Amino acid sequence: MNPTTTIGNINSDLYSKYYFYGWGRFRYSGILSESLFAYIILCICLFTKNFSVNGANNAVISTVERVFYLNSVESGLFLALYDLATVFSAPLVGYLGSLYSSPIFFSLNMIIIAIGNVLIASSNFIDRNNKVNLNWNNTQNPFTSNNVLFQCYNESVRTRENTTDSICLKEDYLSIAEKNAKFLLYAGNFINGIGSVALFTIGVPYIERIFPREKAAYCQGVYFAVGTVGGTLGIVATGRFLLLYTKFTSRRHIPSWLTSSHPLWIGCWWLPYFIYGSLCCLMSLVVSGLPNYGIPGKLDSVRNSTTEISAVASAQQQSIREQENDSKDNTMVMTCLKKPEIEKILRILLKGFVPFITKYFEYQHQLDTSTATLITGAIALLTVIIGCPAGAYFDE
Protein backbone atom coordinates (compact mmCIF):
# COMPACT_ATOMS: atom_id res chain seq x y z
CA MET A 1 0.00 0.00 0.00
CA ASN A 2 1.66 3.17 -1.19
CA PRO A 3 0.88 6.80 -0.37
CA THR A 4 -1.22 8.56 -2.94
CA THR A 5 0.73 11.82 -3.07
CA THR A 6 3.77 11.78 -5.34
CA ILE A 7 6.14 14.57 -6.24
CA GLY A 8 8.32 14.50 -9.28
CA ASN A 9 11.89 15.69 -9.70
CA ILE A 10 12.80 15.14 -6.06
CA ASN A 11 16.31 14.20 -4.99
CA SER A 12 17.02 11.08 -2.97
CA ASP A 13 17.75 12.93 0.28
CA LEU A 14 14.41 14.72 0.30
CA TYR A 15 12.60 11.56 -0.70
CA SER A 16 14.26 9.65 2.12
CA LYS A 17 13.44 12.41 4.59
CA TYR A 18 9.74 12.68 3.80
CA TYR A 19 8.89 9.15 2.64
CA PHE A 20 10.91 6.86 4.93
CA TYR A 21 10.48 6.18 8.63
CA GLY A 22 13.24 7.39 10.92
CA TRP A 23 15.03 10.40 12.33
CA GLY A 24 17.69 12.59 10.68
CA ARG A 25 20.00 10.45 8.59
CA PHE A 26 18.71 7.22 10.08
CA ARG A 27 15.91 6.17 7.74
CA TYR A 28 14.34 2.77 7.31
CA SER A 29 12.41 1.40 4.38
CA GLY A 30 10.16 -1.62 4.40
CA ILE A 31 7.10 -2.07 6.56
CA LEU A 32 7.97 0.87 8.83
CA SER A 33 7.60 3.23 5.88
CA GLU A 34 4.32 1.75 4.66
CA SER A 35 1.22 3.90 4.91
CA LEU A 36 -0.64 1.17 6.80
CA PHE A 37 1.95 1.26 9.59
CA ALA A 38 1.66 5.06 9.80
CA TYR A 39 -2.11 4.76 9.98
CA ILE A 40 -1.96 2.20 12.80
CA ILE A 41 0.44 4.37 14.81
CA LEU A 42 -1.82 7.39 14.30
CA CYS A 43 -4.84 5.40 15.50
CA ILE A 44 -2.90 4.27 18.57
CA CYS A 45 -2.01 7.89 19.33
CA LEU A 46 -5.64 8.98 19.15
CA PHE A 47 -6.67 5.99 21.26
CA THR A 48 -4.04 6.84 23.87
CA LYS A 49 -5.00 10.51 23.86
CA ASN A 50 -8.69 9.86 24.41
CA PHE A 51 -7.90 7.09 26.89
CA SER A 52 -5.75 9.38 28.99
CA VAL A 53 -7.65 12.66 28.69
CA ASN A 54 -11.34 12.10 28.01
CA GLY A 55 -11.52 8.81 29.87
CA ALA A 56 -9.60 9.92 32.95
CA ASN A 57 -11.33 13.29 33.28
CA ASN A 58 -14.80 11.80 33.10
CA ALA A 59 -13.92 9.05 35.58
CA VAL A 60 -12.31 11.13 38.32
CA ILE A 61 -14.52 14.22 38.24
CA SER A 62 -16.50 13.31 41.37
CA THR A 63 -13.31 12.40 43.25
CA VAL A 64 -11.65 15.65 42.19
CA GLU A 65 -14.62 17.55 43.55
CA ARG A 66 -14.06 15.99 46.98
CA VAL A 67 -10.30 16.50 46.91
CA PHE A 68 -10.37 20.18 45.90
CA TYR A 69 -13.78 21.05 47.37
CA LEU A 70 -15.20 21.97 43.97
CA ASN A 71 -18.85 22.61 43.29
CA SER A 72 -20.51 21.49 40.07
CA VAL A 73 -19.82 24.82 38.35
CA GLU A 74 -16.09 24.63 39.13
CA SER A 75 -15.84 21.03 38.01
CA GLY A 76 -17.70 21.97 34.84
CA LEU A 77 -15.16 24.73 34.28
CA PHE A 78 -12.37 22.18 34.66
CA LEU A 79 -13.88 20.11 31.84
CA ALA A 80 -14.76 23.13 29.69
CA LEU A 81 -11.18 24.44 29.68
CA TYR A 82 -10.21 21.49 27.50
CA ASP A 83 -12.67 22.51 24.76
CA LEU A 84 -11.81 26.18 25.18
CA ALA A 85 -8.16 25.44 24.48
CA THR A 86 -9.00 23.54 21.31
CA VAL A 87 -11.02 26.49 19.98
CA PHE A 88 -8.10 28.91 20.30
CA SER A 89 -5.32 26.58 19.18
CA ALA A 90 -7.01 24.77 16.27
CA PRO A 91 -6.61 27.58 13.66
CA LEU A 92 -2.93 28.08 14.48
CA VAL A 93 -2.13 24.37 14.45
CA GLY A 94 -4.03 23.90 11.20
CA TYR A 95 -2.08 26.72 9.55
CA LEU A 96 1.33 25.57 10.75
CA GLY A 97 0.51 21.99 9.86
CA SER A 98 0.46 22.89 6.18
CA LEU A 99 3.93 24.42 6.40
CA TYR A 100 5.79 21.78 8.38
CA SER A 101 5.92 18.01 8.62
CA SER A 102 2.78 16.53 10.18
CA PRO A 103 4.54 13.89 12.35
CA ILE A 104 6.34 16.72 14.17
CA PHE A 105 2.98 18.06 15.34
CA PHE A 106 1.76 14.59 16.22
CA SER A 107 4.81 14.12 18.42
CA LEU A 108 4.41 17.54 20.04
CA ASN A 109 0.74 16.67 20.53
CA MET A 110 1.61 13.65 22.68
CA ILE A 111 4.36 15.49 24.60
CA ILE A 112 2.02 18.36 25.49
CA ILE A 113 -0.64 15.92 26.65
CA ALA A 114 1.96 14.18 28.81
CA ILE A 115 2.86 17.53 30.39
CA GLY A 116 -0.79 18.30 31.01
CA ASN A 117 -1.36 14.93 32.67
CA VAL A 118 1.66 15.41 34.93
CA LEU A 119 0.40 18.85 35.97
CA ILE A 120 -3.02 17.47 36.84
CA ALA A 121 -1.51 14.66 38.89
CA SER A 122 0.97 17.01 40.57
CA SER A 123 -1.87 19.11 41.93
CA ASN A 124 -2.50 16.30 44.41
CA PHE A 125 0.88 16.91 46.08
CA ILE A 126 0.75 20.68 46.59
CA ASP A 127 1.46 21.34 50.28
CA ARG A 128 -0.01 18.04 51.41
CA ASN A 129 1.01 18.67 55.03
CA ASN A 130 -1.65 21.34 55.33
CA LYS A 131 -4.35 18.94 54.32
CA VAL A 132 -6.82 17.60 56.81
CA ASN A 133 -5.94 14.33 58.42
CA LEU A 134 -8.49 11.59 58.89
CA ASN A 135 -8.89 10.50 62.49
CA TRP A 136 -8.11 6.81 62.08
CA ASN A 137 -8.67 6.10 65.78
CA ASN A 138 -12.33 7.03 65.58
CA THR A 139 -14.26 3.81 65.05
CA GLN A 140 -17.75 4.93 65.98
CA ASN A 141 -20.61 5.21 63.55
CA PRO A 142 -19.56 7.87 61.02
CA PHE A 143 -23.10 9.14 60.65
CA THR A 144 -23.70 10.08 64.30
CA SER A 145 -23.93 13.76 65.14
CA ASN A 146 -21.02 13.77 67.61
CA ASN A 147 -18.59 11.92 65.37
CA VAL A 148 -15.50 13.92 64.35
CA LEU A 149 -14.22 12.33 61.14
CA PHE A 150 -11.54 14.90 60.52
CA GLN A 151 -8.87 16.18 62.84
CA CYS A 152 -7.30 19.42 61.65
CA TYR A 153 -3.79 20.61 62.26
CA ASN A 154 -4.88 24.17 62.99
CA GLU A 155 -4.82 24.77 66.75
CA SER A 156 -7.86 27.04 66.74
CA VAL A 157 -9.89 24.43 64.98
CA ARG A 158 -8.58 21.54 67.06
CA THR A 159 -10.03 23.05 70.22
CA ARG A 160 -13.55 23.25 68.80
CA GLU A 161 -16.14 20.79 69.96
CA ASN A 162 -18.22 18.85 67.43
CA THR A 163 -16.06 20.06 64.55
CA THR A 164 -17.64 19.10 61.27
CA ASP A 165 -15.79 18.29 58.08
CA SER A 166 -17.35 21.24 56.22
CA ILE A 167 -16.19 23.75 58.84
CA CYS A 168 -12.72 22.29 58.89
CA LEU A 169 -12.32 22.09 55.15
CA LYS A 170 -13.92 25.20 53.76
CA GLU A 171 -13.35 27.80 56.45
CA ASP A 172 -9.85 27.03 57.62
CA TYR A 173 -8.06 25.08 54.91
CA LEU A 174 -9.03 26.66 51.64
CA SER A 175 -5.59 28.25 51.66
CA ILE A 176 -3.29 29.68 49.04
CA ALA A 177 -1.82 26.21 48.63
CA GLU A 178 -5.26 24.91 47.74
CA LYS A 179 -5.70 27.67 45.17
CA ASN A 180 -2.34 26.80 43.65
CA ALA A 181 -3.39 23.18 43.44
CA LYS A 182 -6.58 24.19 41.65
CA PHE A 183 -4.56 26.32 39.26
CA LEU A 184 -2.41 23.31 38.37
CA LEU A 185 -5.54 21.25 37.88
CA TYR A 186 -7.12 23.77 35.53
CA ALA A 187 -3.86 24.54 33.71
CA GLY A 188 -3.19 20.85 33.12
CA ASN A 189 -6.53 20.29 31.41
CA PHE A 190 -6.14 23.49 29.37
CA ILE A 191 -2.75 22.26 28.17
CA ASN A 192 -4.31 18.91 27.31
CA GLY A 193 -6.75 20.76 25.08
CA ILE A 194 -3.91 22.49 23.25
CA GLY A 195 -2.10 19.21 22.76
CA SER A 196 -5.15 17.38 21.43
CA VAL A 197 -5.70 19.59 18.40
CA ALA A 198 -3.14 18.15 15.98
CA LEU A 199 -4.64 14.66 15.87
CA PHE A 200 -7.94 16.10 14.63
CA THR A 201 -6.89 19.03 12.45
CA ILE A 202 -3.77 17.57 10.81
CA GLY A 203 -4.58 13.89 11.21
CA VAL A 204 -7.49 13.99 8.74
CA PRO A 205 -5.54 15.40 5.74
CA TYR A 206 -2.62 13.14 6.67
CA ILE A 207 -4.88 10.11 6.21
CA GLU A 208 -6.07 11.55 2.90
CA ARG A 209 -2.46 11.70 1.72
CA ILE A 210 -1.53 8.14 2.57
CA PHE A 211 -4.64 6.38 1.25
CA PRO A 212 -6.46 6.45 -2.09
CA ARG A 213 -9.47 8.73 -2.19
CA GLU A 214 -11.99 5.89 -2.19
CA LYS A 215 -10.46 4.45 1.01
CA ALA A 216 -9.64 7.67 2.85
CA ALA A 217 -13.19 8.35 4.06
CA TYR A 218 -13.55 4.82 5.41
CA CYS A 219 -10.17 5.01 7.16
CA GLN A 220 -11.09 8.35 8.71
CA GLY A 221 -14.28 6.81 10.09
CA VAL A 222 -12.33 3.96 11.65
CA TYR A 223 -9.82 6.49 12.98
CA PHE A 224 -12.46 8.44 14.91
CA ALA A 225 -14.19 5.25 16.04
CA VAL A 226 -10.93 4.04 17.58
CA GLY A 227 -10.64 7.34 19.42
CA THR A 228 -14.17 7.00 20.78
CA VAL A 229 -13.48 3.49 22.02
CA GLY A 230 -10.32 4.80 23.70
CA GLY A 231 -12.32 7.35 25.66
CA THR A 232 -14.87 4.81 26.87
CA LEU A 233 -12.26 2.24 27.87
CA GLY A 234 -10.34 5.01 29.63
CA ILE A 235 -13.35 5.61 31.87
CA VAL A 236 -13.47 1.94 32.84
CA ALA A 237 -9.71 1.58 33.38
CA THR A 238 -9.39 4.76 35.42
CA GLY A 239 -12.27 3.66 37.62
CA ARG A 240 -10.23 0.66 38.77
CA PHE A 241 -7.60 3.00 40.26
CA LEU A 242 -10.27 4.57 42.44
CA LEU A 243 -10.48 1.34 44.44
CA LEU A 244 -7.05 2.19 45.87
CA TYR A 245 -6.82 4.72 48.65
CA THR A 246 -5.09 7.91 47.56
CA LYS A 247 -2.18 7.52 50.03
CA PHE A 248 -1.62 3.81 49.32
CA THR A 249 -2.55 3.08 52.92
CA SER A 250 -2.73 -0.60 53.72
CA ARG A 251 -6.24 -1.94 54.06
CA ARG A 252 -5.64 -3.10 57.62
CA HIS A 253 -4.71 0.46 58.64
CA ILE A 254 -7.95 1.91 57.28
CA PRO A 255 -11.03 1.97 59.54
CA SER A 256 -13.54 -0.73 58.73
CA TRP A 257 -16.27 1.82 58.09
CA LEU A 258 -14.21 3.65 55.45
CA THR A 259 -14.93 1.67 52.30
CA SER A 260 -14.79 2.65 48.65
CA SER A 261 -18.53 3.40 48.74
CA HIS A 262 -18.20 5.82 51.67
CA PRO A 263 -18.57 9.55 50.84
CA LEU A 264 -15.22 10.28 52.52
CA TRP A 265 -13.31 7.75 50.44
CA ILE A 266 -10.69 9.36 48.18
CA GLY A 267 -9.50 7.02 45.47
CA CYS A 268 -6.06 7.13 43.89
CA TRP A 269 -7.24 9.46 41.14
CA TRP A 270 -3.82 10.98 40.37
CA LEU A 271 -1.92 7.75 39.60
CA PRO A 272 -3.46 7.07 36.16
CA TYR A 273 -2.45 10.54 34.99
CA PHE A 274 1.20 9.71 35.65
CA ILE A 275 0.86 6.35 33.90
CA TYR A 276 -1.01 7.75 30.91
CA GLY A 277 1.46 10.62 30.66
CA SER A 278 4.30 8.11 30.40
CA LEU A 279 2.45 6.29 27.61
CA CYS A 280 2.02 9.56 25.75
CA CYS A 281 5.75 10.25 26.01
CA LEU A 282 6.48 6.82 24.56
CA MET A 283 4.05 7.35 21.69
CA SER A 284 5.56 10.77 20.96
CA LEU A 285 8.88 9.08 20.22
CA VAL A 286 7.31 6.46 17.95
CA VAL A 287 5.12 8.86 15.99
CA SER A 288 7.91 11.41 15.49
CA GLY A 289 9.64 9.08 13.03
CA LEU A 290 6.68 8.68 10.69
CA PRO A 291 7.18 9.88 7.12
CA ASN A 292 5.23 12.94 6.01
CA TYR A 293 4.50 11.45 2.56
CA GLY A 294 5.05 14.78 0.88
CA ILE A 295 7.19 17.91 1.04
CA PRO A 296 5.57 20.49 3.35
CA GLY A 297 4.44 23.60 1.49
CA LYS A 298 4.32 21.85 -1.89
CA LEU A 299 1.35 19.63 -1.22
CA ASP A 300 -1.13 22.34 -2.15
CA SER A 301 0.51 22.94 -5.53
CA VAL A 302 0.37 19.23 -6.27
CA ARG A 303 -3.30 19.11 -5.37
CA ASN A 304 -4.02 22.21 -7.48
CA SER A 305 -2.38 20.71 -10.56
CA THR A 306 -4.32 17.51 -10.07
CA THR A 307 -7.51 19.51 -9.80
CA GLU A 308 -6.82 21.34 -13.07
CA ILE A 309 -6.22 18.07 -14.91
CA SER A 310 -9.50 16.60 -13.75
CA ALA A 311 -11.54 19.80 -14.21
CA VAL A 312 -12.56 19.06 -17.82
CA ALA A 313 -13.78 15.56 -17.03
CA SER A 314 -15.61 16.76 -13.96
CA ALA A 315 -17.42 19.46 -15.94
CA GLN A 316 -18.83 16.89 -18.34
CA GLN A 317 -20.08 14.73 -15.50
CA GLN A 318 -21.52 17.66 -13.57
CA SER A 319 -24.36 18.36 -15.98
CA ILE A 320 -25.49 14.74 -15.76
CA ARG A 321 -25.34 14.77 -11.98
CA GLU A 322 -27.36 17.98 -11.77
CA GLN A 323 -30.22 16.37 -13.65
CA GLU A 324 -30.12 13.31 -11.43
CA ASN A 325 -30.00 15.37 -8.24
CA ASP A 326 -32.93 17.67 -9.08
CA SER A 327 -35.39 15.19 -7.62
CA LYS A 328 -33.34 14.92 -4.43
CA ASP A 329 -32.80 18.62 -3.77
CA ASN A 330 -35.51 19.04 -1.18
CA THR A 331 -34.37 16.04 0.83
CA MET A 332 -30.72 17.03 0.64
CA VAL A 333 -31.44 20.60 1.77
CA MET A 334 -33.37 19.41 4.80
CA THR A 335 -30.62 16.93 5.67
CA CYS A 336 -27.88 19.55 5.40
CA LEU A 337 -29.86 21.89 7.62
CA LYS A 338 -30.52 19.26 10.24
CA LYS A 339 -27.11 17.62 10.51
CA PRO A 340 -25.22 20.61 11.99
CA GLU A 341 -27.93 21.06 14.60
CA ILE A 342 -27.94 17.35 15.38
CA GLU A 343 -24.16 17.43 15.80
CA LYS A 344 -24.38 20.39 18.20
CA ILE A 345 -27.08 18.70 20.25
CA LEU A 346 -25.04 15.49 20.35
CA ARG A 347 -21.92 17.27 21.58
CA ILE A 348 -23.90 19.09 24.28
CA LEU A 349 -25.45 15.84 25.47
CA LEU A 350 -22.12 14.02 25.54
CA LYS A 351 -20.31 16.82 27.36
CA GLY A 352 -23.05 17.18 29.92
CA PHE A 353 -24.05 13.56 30.32
CA VAL A 354 -20.87 11.51 30.52
CA PRO A 355 -18.93 13.44 33.22
CA PHE A 356 -21.81 13.84 35.64
CA ILE A 357 -23.68 10.57 35.17
CA THR A 358 -21.01 9.06 37.43
CA LYS A 359 -22.05 11.42 40.22
CA TYR A 360 -25.67 10.42 39.67
CA PHE A 361 -24.87 6.74 40.16
CA GLU A 362 -22.79 7.50 43.24
CA TYR A 363 -25.27 9.64 45.14
CA GLN A 364 -28.60 8.38 43.84
CA HIS A 365 -27.84 4.66 43.96
CA GLN A 366 -25.16 4.69 46.69
CA LEU A 367 -22.49 3.11 44.48
CA ASP A 368 -18.76 3.46 44.92
CA THR A 369 -16.92 5.59 42.38
CA SER A 370 -15.24 2.63 40.70
CA THR A 371 -18.53 0.83 40.06
CA ALA A 372 -20.17 4.05 38.88
CA THR A 373 -17.40 4.68 36.35
CA LEU A 374 -17.66 1.07 35.17
CA ILE A 375 -21.36 1.54 34.42
CA THR A 376 -20.71 4.89 32.74
CA GLY A 377 -18.01 3.38 30.55
CA ALA A 378 -20.32 0.52 29.56
CA ILE A 379 -23.04 2.97 28.57
CA ALA A 380 -20.59 5.05 26.54
CA LEU A 381 -19.25 1.92 24.84
CA LEU A 382 -22.77 0.88 23.85
CA THR A 383 -23.15 4.16 21.99
CA VAL A 384 -20.26 3.10 19.75
CA ILE A 385 -21.32 -0.53 19.31
CA ILE A 386 -25.01 0.16 18.73
CA GLY A 387 -25.21 3.84 17.88
CA CYS A 388 -22.78 3.94 14.96
CA PRO A 389 -24.34 1.04 12.97
CA ALA A 390 -27.84 2.33 13.75
CA GLY A 391 -26.92 5.83 12.62
CA ALA A 392 -25.42 4.50 9.39
CA TYR A 393 -28.57 2.44 8.76
CA PHE A 394 -31.00 5.33 9.26
CA ASP A 395 -28.79 7.71 7.28
CA GLU A 396 -29.14 5.61 4.15
pLDDT bucket at 359, cuts 50 / 70 / 90: low
pLDDT bucket at 34, cuts 50 / 70 / 90: confident
Please state, in angstroms and as integers, the Cα–Cα distance from residue 331 to each residue in 5, 326, 341, following that order: 36, 10, 16
How high is the pLDDT of residue 114?
95
In percent, the amount of the chain with pLDDT more than 90 equals 14
Span 64-119, pLDDT tens digits: 888 888 887 888 889 889 888 988 888 888 888 778 888 899 999 999 999 999 99
Q: What angle do CA 139, 257, 378 make, to 5 degrees?
A: 165
Chain centroid to CA 323: how far?
Answer: 45
pLDDT bucket at 181, cuts 50 / 70 / 90: confident
Q: Which distant-in-sequence residues (6+ apart) come within 8 Å of 372 by Cβ?
A: 62, 239, 358, 359, 361, 362
Compute φ and ψ for 2, nearest 5 degrees. -110, 150
Span 105-144, pLDDT tens digits: 999 999 999 999 999 999 888 864 444 444 444 444 444 3
Rounded distance between C-alpha atoms, residue 210 and residue 220, angstroms:
11
Asked if residue 215 has pLDDT above 80, the reply is yes
Asked if residue 146 has pLDDT above 50, the reply is no
CATH, range 12-121+183-321+335-395: 1.20.1250.20
Compute φ and ψ for 245, nearest 5 degrees. -75, 150
DSSP assignment letter at 246: T
133 has which bridge partners?
Answer: 151
How high is the pLDDT of residue 286?
92
Most confidently predicted of 19-28, 173-182, 294-303, 384-393: 19-28
Compute φ and ψ for 134, nearest 5 degrees. -70, 135
Mean pLDDT of the chain: 70
Compute φ and ψ for 83, nearest 5 degrees. -70, -35
Asked if residue 380 has pLDDT above 50, the reply is yes
CA distance from start to end of the chain? 30
Packing angle, helices 213-241 and 35-50, rounded to 10: 30
Looking at 88-92, 185-189, 234-238, 363-367, which range is the least confident one?
A: 363-367
Span 50-61, pLDDT tens digits: 898 888 888 888
Rounded distance between C-alpha atoms, residue 202 and residue 225, angstroms:
17
Asked if residue 11 has pLDDT above 70, the reply is no
Q: Which distant-in-sequence residues (6+ apart) come within 8 Å of 65 by Cβ?
A: 71, 72, 74, 75, 359
Span 256-293, pLDDT tens digits: 777 767 777 788 899 999 999 999 999 999 998 888 88
Task: Indicate the domain borders of the chain.
Answer: 12-121+183-321+335-395
> Is the overall model pTM greater than 0.85, yes or no?
no
pLDDT bucket at 43, cuts 50 / 70 / 90: very high
Rounded distance between C-alpha atoms, residue 198 and residue 343, angstroms:
21
